[in-house]
A and B are shown apart, each in its own frame.
Chain A
Amino acid sequence: MTLALIALIPLLGACLPPLTTRSSRTVTAWAAAAPTLLALLILAAQAPAVFGGEVVRTSAEWVPRIGLSFSFMLDGLGLFFAGLILGIGLLIIAYARHYLGRRDPIGRFYAYLLLFQGAMVGIVLSDNILLLVVFWELTSLSSFLLIGYWNHLPEGRQGARMALVVTGGGGLALLAGMLLLGQAAGSHELSEILARGEEVRASPLYMPALLLVLLGAFTKSAQFPFHFWLPHAMAAPTPVSAYLHSATMVKAGVFLLARLWPALAGTDAWFVLVSLTGLATMLVGAWIALFKDDLKAILAYSTVSHLGMMTMLLGFNTGIAVIAAVFHILNHATFKAALFMSAGIVDHETHTRDIRKLGGLYWLMPVTGTLALIAGASMAGVPLLNGFLSKEMMLDAAAEATLAGNGWVVATLATLAALLSVAYSARFVFGTFFGRPRTAFEHPPHEPPPGLWLPVAVLVVPVVAIGLLPGPLAGPIVEMTAAAVAGPAGLPPVKLTLWHGITPALVMSVAAFAGAALLLLLIHHVERARLRLWRPEAKAMFDATVAAAVAGARRLSGGLHTGSLPRDLGVIVLAILAVGLAGFLGATHAPGAREVQPTGIPALAAWVILVAACAGLAVAHRNRLLTLILTSVVGLIVSLAFLQFSAPDLAMTQISVEVVTTILLLLALNLLPKTTPAEPGTARKLRDGAIAAAAGLGAAALAFAAMTRDFETISTYHIEQSKPGGGGTNVVNVILVDFRGFDTFGEIIVLGIAALAIHALLATALRGAAARRLDAMRMGEVSGDAHPLMLVVATRVLLPLALTLAAYIFLRGHNQPGGGFIAGLIAAIALIMQYMASGHAWAAARARLQPLTMIGAGVLIAGLTGMGSWAFGRPFLTSTFGYFHLPIAGEVELASAMAFDLGVFLTVVGAVVLALSHIARVEQRAERSGHAPEDAALPPGPPTAAPRIGLRTPAYGRED
């Protein structure tokens, strides 16, 4: 597991720096440096084996079932990159200690940095492509945090988001590409995939996998046309730019191309896609870099250009180009990080990065100036420095490349890019450090503390050393790395020498220098010409795309969610109709064989009334009272239908429910406007009517299709088993409390919760705005006698009778129509009558049982009865029954289901009474205030709709 540690130590070490923020900043820096150093040491311990040609592997399972293992491998390529990441990381940590200001939270900075470092090392050491994707996304995320480190700056935030959206999006493409690649190769292990290159390239999945992987690599490495995010990422503090956006993260894409080279390269598609993208990026980046004024922007676009160069080289499909690419990765990492840090020093000391304001700094800060001069010269490709060598090799490789049979195109364009590179390098160095100072600084800038320039110096040493002695110093590393890239294909011998003789590359190089001198002389003319050309501004385009997408989303969303209930209902019904129709027409439909029964006169009459009531509802729906009456007509017809089909229980239930709901609704209507608001538009009504009719016809057709066929049903069993199994002859009741008692169980809870919901709903009506509206409401004229004596007397006489009836209905339920539900409704109606006749206060004062307690008790009784069967080792709700001989009553059957039924009874009564009493309370509030004199000034409230059923506390309510 040592290999895994190299990635995990920085990841876990990320917790350390924030813990030390109470100590000095140096301690925090050491807390970040320690894990890096440790990881570097572990890596170094593995190095000899890798140099010896060995590939170190380690593997552990993570999620084997989806082909993800925690496996790492260390070969030349991995060692090379990991060394770069950790080595430069160490320098950056030292540099950032001095770079960041006192007010910057440095602990967080180092935490992000280590997170990034670990993820990056993870990418280069992964031996599993999914693991690689995991680390890949982690680098995107940590780079987001680092770019947005100065999140009080809008540029920082926006640059961070753009980077994450572009690279994160690429990461998703990469994920898909890797899955396809894994499918093509039959494994998710990288070493397996690399060994099966032939297979992969022959697979039909090669092309999509290639495109997706390249999308991931190109976005990460800022290849044209995805290059635009990188310059905006420069809003990050300079150590971040130096580390992520020149030395490491942006090279992840290049790394991926190198890593997968044995599997994916070697085809024409690879050559065209990769090398041309690289070439275009190289040119575009260099061209833009030449005209930028911000030091970091120049470096950013130059980085884009150099990344393009590496990509192009890897796209050439030749071993010599791979060697050049690897060598350039190494060289670029050294001189570009040095240049970024130099730019950071300039910014730190002068507080500007605008090249138009700088100049002559060499004399003020000679050390920095010298270092930047050397690194800049290397970037330009001046001989005796490392940049020269790899540029020569690039030009060499480009001179050999043929595009569409033409050997000149690539070579010429590569020379042009080299030319531009010389030009912007010269402009960078001379514009900043030489010439006349262009600003009178208040405090003349001076040499920074060594903590800032030492890391630069450390990087400049290899720039010179490799430049002078390439073979001995860089040769083994490059050879080892390039061999790992090329894989089984093998490589030509690696020869890194200073002098190759007069080669085409040398000629091209000289041409580039001469051209660059000419270009710099004419720079002002060129600039003027450039300004006349159309220059696409990537950020503006990105922002415009995002803005357009958001605007589109808003339009779409606004169109979808209008908040209009009728429209929503219309859409839903149409959608259901559409899929229902699709389902019906998508298969063959055989008409049923059952004979159609003759239509009797009563049935026809009921049907006509039903249809008429529904039609009346649709027409008169604005009148709420009429609506209620017509709805109850529908309910009555339905109960008649139940009677007709021998279900008296259901009919009784339906009628009782109708009574209760009608009364409750009438009470509620009292508080509402008499009519609903008018709906505009005949066209809309016609449209809605058409939708409704179509849905109704659809449902009818389906019902017809179902009912014209015979089928075998479970109710046969219910009828047979009702008496022997359930102990009752009324099969409907036995179904309700026994066969399907569990449904009833759920339904009584629904009832109880409905009562609670009414409670929650109306509790608010007595407070705040709703209460003020109630207070403002003026009730219509109340009939002279709110509580007619006859009604009071009649209901009180009826009460015991009704309760007896309820008890009777309850008891006989198991064998004859009845049961707890109906009995509960009857009892509830009897109680409601008391409330209506004698007033709420009178009745409430006499109520012994709180409705909520009744509901709770009812549910508990039902539940405990069901659980009682557990005591006998039976499942929930298993019923038992027996016959007992009681004095007077004689033979009586008692079933445990009756206890269950009692629970149902209590819940029903409680729920109805609770609903009633809440509505009554609201009404009382309205009435009391409606007659208060101070309300006379308020606008008149809506007239009452329903005839008055007074729930007002009568003056004489307390008399009896």
Chain B
Amino acid sequence: MRTDWLIALPILIPLLACALSAALWGRARAQRVVTFVAAAALLLASAALVAATLEHGVIASQMGDWPAPFGITLVSDLLAAAMVAITALMYAATAVYAQAEDVERREAEGWHPLLAALVFGVCGAFLTGDLFNLYVWFEVMLIAAFGMLVLGGGREQLDAGVKYAVLNLLATTVFLIGVGMLYGLTGTLNLADLARRVPEVGNDGAVGAVAFLLLAGFGAKAAVFPLFFWLPAAYHTAAAPVAAIFAAMLTKVGVYAIIRVFSLVFVGSSEWIPWVLGGVAAATMVTGVLGAAAHWDIRRILSFHIISQIGYMLVGIAIATPLALAGAVLYIVHHIVVKANLFLVAGAMRRTGGSFALAHLGGLWRRDPWLGILFAVPALSLAGLPPLSGFWGKLVVIQSGLEGGAAWLAAVALAVSLLTLYSMLKIWMEAFWKEPPAGEAPPDLGGTTRLLMLGPVVALALVTLTIGLWTEPFAALALAAGEQLAGREAYIAAVLGGGAP
């Protein structure tokens, strides 16, 4: 298939799904078919994209056939392709899981088009090679996420939705100011072109300030310290499938943008970049994990762990050697799968035990050992225990820290991983080991609900185990992606050197 199609398809498939399911409003059965077909198609398309990117290296497609940098370019390198593939996986998992519980009401309020729109925005953000276009995708995600957050909304969801929207709008505004300024300094928006022109600006102070404006805009999306307030305000109110796809994708798009822009455009633009990134990484890891320690509600605990683990990814970006970037890539891929899965399992735990509050849970290990195992796989992976996926990400990040002269970051990362383990133990001991509280427990998960809920969970757990045990191809991919990111030339050549036919 032509690379032009391959790059555009991951954006167009969810788009068509969104438009069709909006047009099929009120016809839930048809909407479901659209969503499932789209998820399957996206999985295939993203697999093809990964294959093509592995085969040809960085590939690009010029939208509207206008030569770069005058139009908008879509670019797929290994990182982008991998992210799209993992997004497809999340789309499928969430779509299936959402059928298990409360589905009619959610569908009546627009679940299918909103989910597709979110995926559309996420894929667009991963594939775009244009800074302003990235802003557009951020907007798509923001509005779709807002809609999903207030689905079926009570007072709590609305409060969360407002905070989410206001704080994220501030972030996107800062991002937009940054884009404007950068255009004012360089006269271009194409990332590859920016990479060439930024060093020639000759106004390093302004470039440095713009770099940090963009960092702040992306960082707020990624929920880094001290810009993360929206995340703990919002995630714990969302339904399990919504929280799962949010936890998987939203912050990671911010991290992706930081990687993309800071490995491509602002390389060496300011001496402060590694320090700010490193400091933010450490503070993010620590504050996140401490926030988790302070809470006794599964969803809140999990939300704070997202923040904490964003810090790990930033460590990789701060060190910025090919190995460190590879570590960040590996960590992101692992984290998306694991974090989404934990939220999905948490939903199943609530269904079985009747609550998200640890105080009201107990005895699940005796009641449903499979649920326990399915919780343990992502939980231990999150804590970085071998031989699960999280161990490898952590290992590479720490190794790059020790080799890249940032031993202190490695030390913080290790300490935080111990606290993460502690936090997962807390959930395990309270929800699974402790005697169940008095009172009648909800009925066991059974029949179709069990299948719909635990099916995606099993699938994602298998991915975690696969990455854990059959690590080599993933490590190879991550290292190749790290090389590509640190190398830059392949990307710039693919975009500006007539990459499109």
Q: Give the residue of B153, B229, B287, B472 whose beta carbon is less than 8 angstroms from that of A62.
A: B472
In chain A, what residue has the closest Cβ to B232?
A561
Known A-B contacts A172-B417, A550-B294, A561-B291; A584 and B63 likewise in contact (beta carbons under 8 Å): no
Q: What 1/0 flags go to B235-276 for Cβ under 8 Å of A?
A: 000000000000000000000000000000000011110001
Specify the chain A residue showing the minimal Cβ separation from B65. A878
Report if B493 contacts A (CB, 8 A). no
- Taking CB atoms, residues of chain A closer than 8 Å to B110 are 756, 759-760
Q: Is A739 an interface residue (CB 8 A)?
A: yes
By the criterion CB–CB under 8 Å, are A584 and B15 in contact? no
- Segment from A324-332, A457-465, A563-571 that makes contact with B: A563-571
Complex: A594 Cα to B424 Cα, angstroms: 59
Q: Indicate whether A583 reaches chain B with its CB closer than 8 angstroms.
A: yes
Interface residues of B in 190-218 (CB under 8 A from A): 190, 193, 202-213, 215-216
Interface membership of A623, Cβ < 8 A? no
B396: chain A residues within 8 A (beta carbon): 66
Min C-beta distance of A452 to chain B, whole Å? 27
Specify which chain A residues have a CB less than 8 angstroms from the CB of B387 in the assembled complex: 134, 138
Chain A hits for B136, CB < 8 A: 743, 746-747, 750
| Closest A residue to B416 using CB positions | A172
Interchain CB contact under 8 A, A579 and B276: yes
B63 touches A747 (CB 8 A): no
Q: Which residues of A contact B215 (CB under 8 A)?
A: 579
Q: A572-B220, A579-B216, A703-B181 given as contacts; is B113 within 8 A of A756 (CB)?
A: yes
Among candidates A130, A165, A168, A743, residue contacting B132 with C-beta atoms closer than 8 Å: A743
Check B64 against A875 for contact (C-beta < 8 Å). Answer: yes
Q: Which of A557, A589, A870, A876 gathers most chain B CB within 10 Å?
A: A876
Using Cβ atoms and an 8 Å threshold, which residues of chain B touch A553? 290-291, 293-294
* Proximity bits, A763-786, B CB within 8 Å = 1, else 0: 110001100000000000000000
Give the size category of A's interface with B.
Answer: 35 or more
Stretch at the interface among A36-44, A256-264, A717-725: A717-725
Report whether B167 and A568 are in contact in the complex, using a CB–CB cutoff of 8 Å: yes
A572 touches B114 (CB 8 A): no
A-side contacts of B269, CB under 8 Å: 587
Residue of B nearest to A590 (CB): B203
- Which of B8, B287, B402 meets A179, CB within 8 Å? B402
Residues 736-750 of A, flagged 1 when their CB comes within 8 A of B and 0 if not, give 001111110011011
Q: For the complex, is B103 an interface residue (Cβ under 8 Å from A)?
A: no
Q: Which residues of A contact B36 (CB under 8 A)?
A: none
Q: A148-B433, A553-B293 are in contact. Are A875 and B109 (CB under 8 A)?
A: no
A residues 230-245 in Cβ contact with B at 8 Å: none
Contact B150 A761 (CB under 8 A): yes
Q: A568-B229, A859-B18, A879-B64 are contacts. A763–B109 as well, Cβ < 8 Å?
A: yes
Chain A CB within 8 A of B449 CB = no
Report the bound CA distance from A554 to B304 in whole Å.
12
Closest CB in chain A relative to B52 CB, distance in Å: 15
Task: Give the distance to chain B from A633, nearest Cβ to Cβ, in Å.
Answer: 20
For the complex, what is the distance from the CA of A713 to the CA of B12, rounded to whole Å?
Answer: 30
B101 CB-CB contact with A under 8 Å: no
A46: min CB distance to chain B, Å: 25
Nearest-neighbour CB distance to chain A for B368, whole angstroms, equals 14
* Interface SS of B by simple majority: helix
Which of B286-301 touch A at CB < 8 Å?
287, 290-291, 293-295
- Known contacts A175-B398, A742-B64: A706-B184 contact under CB 8 Å: yes
Interface residue A855 (Cβ < 8 Å from any Cβ of B): yes
Q: Which residues A86-144 have CB closer than 8 A to chain B?
A: 108, 130, 133-134, 137-138, 141, 144
A869 touching B295, Cβ below 8 Å: no
Once the chains bind, are B472 and A61 in contact (CB under 8 Å)? yes
* Cα(A867)–Cα(B4), bound, Å: 11
- Pair A583/B66 contact, Cβ less than 8 Å: no
Query: Does A138 lie within 8 Å of B472, measured CB to CB?
Result: no
Question: A589 vs B206: C-alpha distance in the bound complex, in angstroms?
Answer: 7
The answer on a CB contact under 8 Å between A557 and B421 is no
> Any chain B CB within 8 A of the CB of A860?
yes
Q: Which residues of A contact B210 (CB under 8 A)?
A: 583, 702
How far does the alpha carbon of A608 sit from the alpha carbon of B104 in the complex, in Å? 54
B99 within 8 A of A: no
Question: With A134-B386, A572-B227, A760-B150 given, is the CB distance from A584 to B202 under 8 Å?
Answer: no
Q: Are B61 and A876 in contact (CB under 8 A)?
A: yes
Tell me how far the C-beta of B329 lies from the nearest C-beta in chain A, rounded to whole angstroms: 13
Q: Does A581 contact B (CB under 8 A)?
A: yes
Across-interface contacts of B290 in A (CB, < 8 A): 552-553, 556-557
Q: What separation, in Å, do the CA atoms of A739 and B190 have in the docked complex?
A: 13
A857 B23 Cβ-Cβ under 8 A: yes
Residues 839-872 of A at the B interface (beta carbon under 8 Å): 850, 852-853, 855-857, 859-860, 863, 866-867, 869-870
Chain A residues closer than 8 Å to B170, beta-carbon distance: 569, 572-573
Contact (Cβ within 8 A) B213 A576: yes
Residues from chain A with a CB closer than 8 A to the CB of B162 are 565
**Contact in complex: A586, B208 (CB < 8 Å):** yes
B294 touches A583 (CB 8 A): no
Tell me which residues across on chain A come within 8 A of B190, comparing CB atoms: 714
Would B291 and A560 count as touching, CB distance under 8 A? yes
A709/B386 in contact, CB under 8 A: no
**What residues of chain B lie closer than 8 Å to A743, measured between beta carbons?**
72, 132-133, 136
Contacts of A568 in B (CB 8 A): 163, 167, 229-230, 233
Q: Is the CB of B12 within 8 A of A740?
A: no
Residue of A nearest to B21 (CB): A856
Of B139-147, B333-341, B457-465, the one with at least 4 CB within 8 A of chain A:
B139-147
- For residue B319, CB closer than 8 A to chain A, the reply is no
- Chain A residues, Cβ within 8 Å of B471: 62-63, 68
In the complex, are the beta carbons of B209 and A876 less than 8 A apart?
Answer: no
Q: How far is the CB of B347 from chain A (nearest CB, A)?
A: 20
- Interface 0/1 of B153-179, CB less than 8 Å to A: 111001001110011001100100100
Residues on A with C-beta less than 8 A from B226 are 560, 571-572, 575
User: B241 CB to closest chain A CB, in angstroms?
Assistant: 15
CB distance from A241 to the nearest CB of B (A): 19
Chain B contacts of A161 at CB under 8 A? Answer: 422, 425, 429
Q: Does B418 contact A (CB under 8 A)?
A: yes
B312 at the interface (CB under 8 A from A): no
A769 adjacent to B147 (CB under 8 Å): no
Find B211's partner among A64, A583, A869 (CB 8 Å cutoff). A583
Residues B8 and A561 in contact, CB atoms below 8 Å apart:
no
Q: Mark A151-169, 1 if CB is under 8 A from B, else 0.
A: 1100001001100110011
| Cβ B208 vs Cβ A756 within 8 A | no
Q: Are A753 and B421 in contact (CB under 8 A)?
A: no
Identify the interface centre among A169, A582, A587, A852: most chain B CB within 10 Å of its CB: A587
> In the bound complex, do residue A179 and residue B184 qualify as a contact, i.e. CB atoms below 8 Å apart?
no
A876: contacting residue among B12, B121, B211, B410, CB under 8 A: B12
- Chain A residues whose C-beta falls within 8 Å of the C-beta of B70 in the assembled complex: 714, 717-718, 721, 739
The 6 closest A-B pairs by CB, nearest first: A856-B23, A589-B205, A713-B187, A583-B208, A757-B147, A587-B204
B-side residues, CB < 8 A to A, are 2, 4-5, 8, 12, 15-16, 18-20, 22-25, 61-66, 69-72, 74, 108-110, 113-114, 117, 120-121, 124, 132-133, 136-137, 139-140, 143-144, 146-148, 150-155, 158, 161-163, 166-167, 170-171, 174, 177, 180-181, 183-190, 193, 202-213, 215-216, 220, 226-227, 229-230, 232-233, 269-272, 276, 287, 290-291, 293-295, 304, 365, 369, 380, 385-387, 391-392, 395-396, 398-399, 402-403, 407, 410-411, 414-415, 417-418, 421-422, 425, 429, 432-435, 471-472, 475-476, 479, 500
13 more A-B contacts (CB under 8 A) besides A560-B226, A760-B114? A144-B425, A175-B398, A565-B167, A568-B233, A576-B174, A583-B210, A587-B204, A590-B205, A713-B187, A739-B70, A742-B71, A753-B147, A877-B64
Q: List 13 A-B contacts (CB under 8 A).
A: A65-B475, A161-B422, A168-B385, A565-B167, A576-B213, A580-B212, A585-B205, A586-B270, A705-B206, A706-B206, A721-B70, A746-B133, A876-B61
